[in-house]
Structure 1
Amino acid sequence: MAKTTPAQYIRQVRQELSKVTWPSRKEAIISTVMVFIMVLLASLFFLAVDGILSWAVELLFSVRG
């Protein structure tokens, strides 16, 4: 494996960064909002599942004893 000098490394990083297609400001904002919405929906889903399972477990234990 060939050794890479710090200067070569910086040069390679700059070359790779020039190949990146960065999102526009609008795309970044829309993506961020979509992530927040999906996190909110997932949180509500797991809150509901947790509530249902808690209720079911309480029901089970109250019937048995």
Structure 2
Amino acid sequence: MAKVTPGEYVNQVRAEARKVVWPTRKETVTTAIMVLIMTTILAAFFFGVDAFFNKIVQLLLGLLA
């Protein structure tokens, strides 16, 4: 592996940083809204699954008592 001086390293980092394409404000807002929607849907789904299994466990424990 070739050794790189600190100056060359900084130049390489700047060159790579110039290649980055940042998302527009609209893309960022749209993506954030989609993440919130999906998070809410998944939270509701897992809440329902958890409640379902809780009822099953309570029923099975009730049979033992």
SS of residue paired to 2:51: helix
Q: Counterparts of 2:16 and 2:32 in 1: how far apart (Å)?
A: 25
> Paired residue for 1:18?
18
RMSD of the alignment, in Å? 1.1
* Same amino acid, percent of matched pairs: 43
SS of residue paired to 2:21: coil
Q: TM-score, normalised by structure 1?
A: 0.87
Q: Counterparts of 2:3 and 2:15 in 1: how far apart (Å)?
A: 18
Q: TM-score, normalised by structure 2?
A: 0.87
Unaligned runs of 5+ residues in structure 2 are: none
Q: Alpha-carbon deviation of 1:64?
A: 2.9
> Paired residue for 1:41?
41
Q: Deviations over 1:11-54 (max 9, x none)?
A: 11111111112110110111011111111111111111110000
Opposite residue 10 of structure 2, the aligned amino acid is: I
Q: Spell out structure 1 runs of 4+ moving beyond 2 A.
A: none
> Paired residue for 2:4?
4
Opposite residue 37 of structure 1, the aligned amino acid is: I
